[in-house]
């Protein structure tokens, strides 16, 4: 494998020679971590600039949502089930981690099924699962809602923060005067569900190259080389490097689950704002399982922390070391913004692997 990687790096250098600066954005937190962990920025030619986009679901969860979840957790009758990364995201005044230390019923789970099983076994308690993630995790939530509906498990709810990726990419392309994106590394996990077709607009409408990439260093380097060849030949398209997992039409069963349970709606992305048709909302038939509806929660606008650059980092306008708080008052053990919280956050990746200026 090492010889393959060395050969790929050399071919990338030859292919990039003579090209102007190329800004390649990855829209997946797993790619962000893999790029940092494998030191890929250091081995690429200087005219290739890798920038991170809004590929971390935890990072784009709004402060308003965090505050609402904290409000739910303050009621001793409620039990909140969450993936671990969510607990440290700072809201406007507190976090789920702090609330749990104060005695709130907040449990870390590894599968949404854990929350549902707890609800079945404890019918007198109200169980709320924080449903987070892109198209990768939405089918799992959809399957649980279907099961809850069919079994009349009326004490099970979700706090829904699911979002979808293609509209966010289109938003970025329409903002490209700020971030000057040349091409995209598209998210392999998302595309395993959706297939490649929902991303065709990147090349067909906007004329940008895109490659759906796997997650090893070799996969990412191969994908970068594929992008360079598209640029060199002036033939932008959406290619699949991760072809042993991703197919053109995706996973039809997972897609059907999402289509049957969710409608598409606008969504707020933290630090970015409202992106049209980028969110998933439960169909009317299933609205009783929506915690926002059943507990009459309201979306309240809350300002971002002062001096935090997470919004610009998620848009690819800044890199973490350009934030005045990075590595100073904002660290993984004391995060100011969400990009430093998640294991897939850009600031977290830079802090762990890339504390230098590139």
Query: Can you list the alpha helix ranges (DSSP code H) found in 57-128?
Result: 63-73, 96-101, 112-121
- Predicted confidence (pLDDT) at residue 3 exceeds the cutoff of 90: no
Exposure of 90 in the CB half-sphere (CA atoms within 13 A):
21
* Mean pLDDT, residues 184-195 taken together: 97
Mean pLDDT score across all residues of the chain = 94
Give yes or no for a contact between 277 and 266, defined as CB atoms under 8 angstroms apart: yes
- Residues listed for the chain: 358
Q: Model's pTM, two decimal places?
A: 0.93
- Superfamily per CATH, domain 30-300: HypD, alpha/beta domain 2 (3.40.50.11740)
- Predicted confidence (pLDDT) at residue 358 exceeds the cutoff of 50: no
Q: pLDDT tens digits for 15-70?
A: 999 999 999 999 999 999 999 999 999 999 999 999 999 999 999 999 999 999 99
Domain span(s) for CATH 3.40.50.11740 in the chain: 30-300
Q: pLDDT tens digits for 324-342?
A: 999 999 998 888 989 998 8
* Mean pLDDT, residues 64-89 taken together: 94
Give yes or no for a contact between 16 and 228, defined as CB atoms under 8 angstroms apart: yes
pLDDT score recorded for residue 315: 92
Q: Which residues pair with 80 in a beta bridge?
A: 106, 128
* Secondary structure of residue 53 in the 3-state scheme: coil
Rounded to the nearest angstrom, the gap between the alpha carbon of residue 207 and the centroid of all alpha carbons in its chain is 24
* Mean pLDDT, residues 345-350 taken together: 94
Q: pLDDT tens digits for 260-302?
A: 999 999 999 998 899 999 999 999 999 999 999 999 998 778 8
pLDDT score recorded for residue 64: 93
Q: pLDDT tens digits for 107-141?
A: 999 889 999 999 999 999 999 999 999 999 999 99
d(CA 172, CA 162): 19
- Predicted confidence (pLDDT) at residue 304 exceeds the cutoff of 90: no
């Amino acid at each position: 494998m090492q010889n393959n990687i060395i050969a790929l790096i050399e071919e990338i250098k030859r292919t990039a020679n003579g090209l102007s600066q190329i800004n390649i954005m990855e829209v997946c937190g797993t790619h962000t971590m893999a790029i940092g962990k494998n030191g890929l920025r250091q081995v690429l030619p200087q005219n290739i600039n890798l920038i991170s986009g809004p590929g971390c679901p935890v990072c784009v969860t709004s402060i308003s949502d965090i505050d609402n979840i904290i409000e739910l957790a303050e009621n001793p009758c409620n039990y909140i089930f969450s993936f671990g990364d969510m607990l440290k995201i700072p809201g406007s005044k507190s976090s789920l981690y702090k609330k749990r230390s104060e005695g709130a019923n907040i449990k870390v789970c590894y599968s949404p099924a854990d929350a549902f099983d707890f609800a079945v076994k404890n019918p007198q308690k109200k169980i709320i699962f924080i449903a987070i993630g892109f198209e990768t995790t939405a089918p799992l939530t959809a399957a649980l809602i279907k099961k809850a509906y069919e079994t009349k498990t009326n004490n099970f709810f979700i706090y829904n923060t699911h979002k979808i990726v293609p509209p966010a990419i289109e938003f970025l392309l329409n903002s490209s005067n700020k971030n000057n994106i040349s091409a995209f590394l598209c998210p392999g996990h998302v595309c395993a569900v959706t297939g490649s077709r929902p991303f065709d607009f990147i090349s067909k409408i906007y004329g940008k190259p895109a490659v759906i990439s796997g997650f090893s260093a070799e996969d990412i380097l191969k994908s970068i080389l594929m992008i360079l060849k598209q640029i060199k030949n002036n033939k932008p398209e959406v290619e699949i490097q991760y072809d042993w997992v991703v197919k053109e039409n995706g996973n039809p069963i997972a897609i059907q689950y999402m289509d049957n349970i969710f409608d598409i709606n606008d969504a707020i992305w933290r630090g970015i704002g409202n992106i049209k048709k980028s969110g998933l909302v439960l169909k009317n038939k299933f609205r009783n399982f929506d915690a926002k509806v059943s507990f009459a929660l309201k979306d309240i606008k809350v300002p971002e922390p002062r001096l935090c650059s997470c919004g610009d980092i998620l848009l690819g306008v800044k890199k973490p070391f350009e934030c005045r708080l990075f590595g100073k008052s904002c660290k993984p053990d004391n995060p100011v913004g969400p990009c430093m919280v998640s294991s897939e956050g850009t600031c977290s990746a830079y802090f762990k692997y890339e504390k230098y200026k590139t």
